[in-house]
């Protein structure tokens, strides 16, 4: 009888402590959590930049979809660490001419990689579009805006002015990747 009472007391205390601490079992977490409630974003929408330049060339521009954000990746054949500037602008303009780039979206990110690009015709279609982002939750358009004096500009049309982050990943090999993530919501 004492063992049963002690076991019941320990089990009850553990259950009360678990509930008080807000710890859920995996089945409870799956039942009560949705992707939108797990997307904690603290990135902000202010400009992000690094002052460096690189002579390594851009080799590809691509995009991907994730649960909480859409991702733009610019592949560089060398280090791109600190060689970028990303900011919201009223309109993305072509390097050199200053003419506006026709972008779809409610807000526009100017993504400058301080790296040259070659063979640009192979990277984008006749309209200057790098990537087809049809069906993306946040991205609306990704277009080339020129390459001038060692820097390349990409126009990124997004649904609205949303938080974004910018970082660099090393690899593959001796290359690196400039990554721009734009959240689906605040």
Of 66, 75, 55, 141, which is closest to residue 102 (Cα–Cα)? 141
Question: The whole model's pTM is what?
Answer: 0.77
User: Cβ distance 78 to 55 under 8 Å?
Assistant: yes
106 and 22 within one domain: no
Compute the distance between CA of residue 50 and CA of residue 171 in angstroms, rounded to an integer. Answer: 19
pLDDT band, very low/low/confident/very high, at 37 (cuts 50, 70, 90): low
Q: How many domains does the chain have?
A: 2
75 and 29 within one domain: no
Compute the distance between CA of residue 23 and CA of residue 29 in angstroms, rounded to an integer. Answer: 9
Domain limits for position 21: 2-33
**Per the domain annotation, does 105 fall within a domain?**
yes
Neighbour count for residue 37 (Cβ, 10 Å): 8
**Per the domain annotation, does 29 fall within a domain?**
yes
101 and 150 within one domain: yes
What is the structure's pLDDT at 158?
A: 98
Q: Is the pLDDT of residue 10 over 50?
A: no
DSSP state of 29: H
């Amino acid at each position: 009888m004492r063992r049963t009472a002690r076991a019941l007391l320990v089990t009850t205390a553990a259950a009360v402590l678990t509930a008080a601490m807000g710890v859920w079992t995996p089945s409870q977490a799956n039942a009560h959590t949705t992707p939108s409630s797990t997307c904690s974003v603290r990135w902000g929408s202010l400009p992000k930049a690094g002052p460096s330049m690189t002579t390594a060339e851009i080799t590809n521009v691509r995009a991907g979809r994730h649960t909480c954000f859409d991702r733009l990746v610019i592949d560089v054949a060398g280090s791109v660490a600190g060689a970028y500037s990303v900011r919201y602008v009223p309109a993305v303009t072509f390097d050199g001419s200053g003419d506006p780039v026709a972008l779809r979206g409610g807000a526009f990110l100017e993504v400058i990689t301080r790296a040259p690009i070659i063979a640009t015709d192979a990277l984008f279609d006749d309209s200057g579009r790098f990537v087809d982002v049809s069906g993306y939750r946040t991205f609306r358009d990704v277009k080339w805006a020129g390459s001038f004096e060692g820097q390349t500009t990409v126009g990124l049309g997004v649904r609205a002015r949303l938080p974004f982050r910018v970082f660099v990943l090393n690899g593959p090999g001796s290359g690196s990747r400039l990554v721009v993530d734009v959240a689906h919501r605040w």
